[in-house]
A and B are shown apart, each in its own frame.
Chain A
Amino acid sequence: RKEVEQDPGPFNVPEGATVAFNCTYSNSASQSFFWYRQDCRKEPKLLMSVYSSGNEDGRFTAQLNRASQYISLLIRDSKLSDSATYLCVVIGSGTYKYIFGTGTRLKVLA
C-alpha cells in the first residue's frame, strides 16, 4: 500500500462547479499536511496547509480526518485558472521526509 494515495483523475468540471479531492495516508503518526498545486511542467507551489480544525482560504477549504486518515480539498466556484494537478503532502512524526501523493489532475472547462 502506498504511503499517500490520491485519485489521479482527471476530474473534468464546468466553470463554477464545486469539486472535492481526497487523499489518504497510511502512517497514523503523521503530523503535518499540505496541499500543493502543480501546473504542467512547472514546480509545485504551496496552496495551503491543513489543520486539524479545518481551514479555509477564499474558495479553497482543507479538512483533516485523523480517525479515517485522510485529508480533503474542496474548491468552490471553479475557475479556468484552477486547472492544474493538486498534490497532497504528508510529513511523518519525527521525520524529515515529505511524502507526496501522485497528484489529482483537475481540468475546469468553459
Chain B
Amino acid sequence: DAGVTQSPTHLIKTRGQHVTLRCSPISGHKSVSWYQQVLGQGPQFIFQYYEKEERGRGNFPDRFSARQFPNYSSELNVNALLLGDSALYLCASSLVGPTNEKLFFGSGTQLSVL
C-alpha cells in the first residue's frame, strides 16, 4: 500500500507569490494534518482536518489556509509568500481523529522563497 504522498517535492517561489501543496493520505485514513519544519527545529502544527472539517489550527497567519476533499486528500495554500515561509512542509495522515493517534508522514515539500 502507498504511504502518504506529497507533491511537489521541491518548489521555488518568489516573495508575494502564492503556492499550493498537495497531500494524499494513506488509504483508509480520514485525518490529515499539516506541519511546517524550519531547519534545526521540530515540525510546527499548522492545520488538522478530519472528515473534511477543520479540527485544529496552529499559530499561523491567515495567509495559510487548507482544505480536505471528499477523497480525504488535502491542499495547503499559502498566499503572499514571505522569505520566512521557506521550510519543509510535511503532511501527516492518521486513521481516525486526533488524540493518541499515530501520525504517518509524507516525505514533504521543500519550499524555497527567494
Interface residues of chain A, those whose CB is within 8 Å of chain B, are: 4, 6, 8, 31-32, 34, 42-46, 49, 87, 89, 91, 94-103
How many chain B residues sit at the interface, stated as a range, is: 20 to 34
B40 interface contact, C-beta 8 A? yes
Q: Which residues of A contact B41 (CB under 8 A)?
A: 102-103
Instruction: Rank and list the top 7 A-B pairs by shortest CB-CB distance, nearest first.
Output: A96-B56, A100-B42, A32-B100, A43-B105, A96-B98, A96-B55, A96-B48
Identify which of B42, B48, B100 contacts A87 (C-beta below 8 A): B42
* B43 to chain A: closest residue by CB: A100
B25 interface contact, C-beta 8 A? no
- Contacts A43-B107, A46-B103, A103-B42 known; list 16 others, CB within 8 Å: A4-B42, A32-B99, A32-B100, A45-B105, A49-B100, A94-B99, A95-B98, A95-B99, A96-B55, A97-B45, A97-B58, A98-B33, A100-B35, A100-B44, A100-B45, A103-B41
Report Cα–Cα, A31/B101, bound state, in Å.
11
Interface residues of chain B, those whose CB is within 8 Å of chain A, are: 33, 35, 40-45, 48, 50, 55-56, 58, 90, 97-100, 102-108
* B31 to chain A: closest residue by CB: A96
Could you show 11 A-B contacts with beta carbons less than 8 Å apart? A4-B42, A8-B40, A31-B100, A87-B42, A87-B43, A89-B103, A97-B56, A97-B98, A100-B43, A101-B42, A102-B40
